Amino acid sequence: MKPKAAIYCRLSEEDRNKQFETDDSVSIQNQKAMLIQYAMEQGWEIYDIYCDDDYTGSDRKRPAFNRLLTDAQKHCFQIVLCKTQSRFTRELELVEKYIHGLFPIWGIRFVSIVDNADTNNKGNKKSRQINGLVNEWYLEDMSENIKSVLTNRRVNGYHIGAFALYGYLKDPNQKGHLIVDPEAAAVVREVFTLFTQGYGKSAIARILNDRGIPNPTEYKRLHGLRYKQPTNKNSTLWQYFAISDMLNNEIYIGNMVQGKYGSISYKTKQNKPRPKSQWYRVEGTHEPIIDQDLWNRTQALISQKAKPFTVGTIGIFAKKVTCANCGYTMRSTKNRGNYYLKCSRRHIAADSCIGAFISVDLLEQLVVKEMRRLCEVYLSREELEQHIAFGTNLKEQKFQLQTDITAYEKKAEEYTKGIHDVYMDKVKGLINDQDFTEMTKDFSSERQRLEQRIVDCRKHIVEIDEKMAVGDNRRELMEQYLSIEHLDREFVDTMVDHIVVYKRTSKKELPSIDIYWNF
């Protein structure tokens, strides 16, 4: 009975650019032909041919390699045949584990024809071990060489990642350089703007999802760009962590930051976080999407760990108010549904400050009152009308509503198409009635929600058109500014440097405050 041989072939990326004929083969086909011919000459029956294309000899997750080991343990063949021992593995540990350990126990002979490794020849075991050691050195040297090249490119500010960050594209004319992707960059700018206006990260994600804006992975997939496969392959929605990562990424201000993770060993693809001091950071390597002022305001809010800001709550004054007595930042508290600010050292020790205490509503009223007074004293109504830039004029509102309608309509059409596709799958027998009912129910519900949003937006546009027909709305907006009643975080962050609150001398009088403006 002829012995059965399993042929194993491997071609790795480093084999693709060999310069000399004496180097390893650059073709899986050539390996197959060589090994098949050798097996026939030896009179062996070929059980199967196991091929791993584009895998390194240190990769233990090679699919064909692991399938061969499984079949070997099942005694499906008696011989493993390779071109060289390094094709099977470059790791000395695996040489000892399988070639010198398990294969003899399983009754399997290992043969590699170029370097004359043959476990039936007891005299060349040392040679096989030396080959394994040399291959181990080769792996380590190659790893260090690659690491050195990549480090040099990182230090010089070249982008070496497989995927460009959302908002950018790889420059087709300059390797390692990023260029702005206008469509995605507009979304990035909106995320930063919304955050500085007081929206939380989850709220921003909901806004983008409601408008049907695909998340970074889905955007790249739709545009035919390379992307990393997400853990949840079915999710096309924005998540809290995507917004959080975006707001902290310096690449958006034109700085290249790389090397946040490093490999544990050349023997594994596992990475671990590196200390920030070991990151590679190069400024001004590409065009920024976010200007420095917007970036600084964003980072200030993040460092303060301020919560999403809601009118009438502590959020609008986060980290802005200090106690006049001890100088400490005042802390928020809540009692019976009302928000208050109190000295952070109040009652924490025997010598602690027993100073300032004020309700957020009262502080807001005092700041609004002082703002109105300043407007009346220093600015005439004519000057305000000429110089104040209103970000919420009617034309801008109308344009945004029209943009939202287009996005909602597109998303609704996708749900309609989804219902049609699911129905065709049911007709073809690909899904059962229960699955069809559940899937169409979800699609219909989402489509109805978007259609209602479209109706609401159109009603709002009609109202705006009526206001615009009456006349120019600048004076009306100016009057709203002068008669401001409530503050938001954006206003406080832009206009107020800090506020000092004094302890009341009696319960009947209002607490005294000093406002330090940014102008």
**Domain chopping of the chain, boundaries:** 4-152, 168-302, 306-388+486-517, 394-472
CATH of domain 168-302: 3.90.1750
* Surface-to-core class of residue 187, CB atoms within 10 Å of its CB (0-12 exposed, 13-18 middle, 19+ buried): buried
Chain length of the chain: 519
pLDDT of residue 89: 84
The model's pLDDT over 1-58, given as tens digits with 9 standing for 90+, comes to 889 999 999 876 545 444 443 344 456 777 888 889 889 989 999 999 999 887 776 7
Query: Which pTM was predicted?
Result: 0.42
Q: Say if CB 8 and CB 80 are below 8 A apart.
A: yes
Per-residue confidence (pLDDT) for residue 167, from 0 to 100 = 93
Stated as kind and residue range, the H or E segment containing 65 is: helix 63-73
- What is the distance between the alpha carbons of residues 489 and 316, in angstroms, rounded to a whole number? 4
Q: Which residues pair with 79 in a beta bridge?
A: 5, 109
- Residue 130's pLDDT band (cuts 50, 70, 90): low
Check the CA dihedral 509-510-511-514 and report its sign.
Answer: negative
* One CATH from 3.40.1160.10, 3.40.50.10490, 3.30.70.890, 3.40.50.1390 for 4-152: 3.40.50.1390
CB distance 359 to 504 below 8 Å = no
Contact present, 139 and 147 (Cβ < 8 Å) = no
pLDDT attached to residue 68: 94
Which uninterrupted H or E stretch holds 357? strand 357-359
Across 312-331, b (16+ Cβ under 10 Å) vs e yields: ebbbbbbebbbbbbeebbbe
How far apart CA 314 and CA 492 sit, in angstroms, is 12
Give the pLDDT band of residue 398 (cuts 50, 70, 90). confident
- Block residue for tokens 């197959």: 32
Say what the pLDDT of residue 314 is.
41
pLDDT score, position 392: 44
Instruction: Please check the confidence at residue 438 and state whether its pLDDT lies above 50.
Output: yes
- Tokens representing 303 are 């460092």
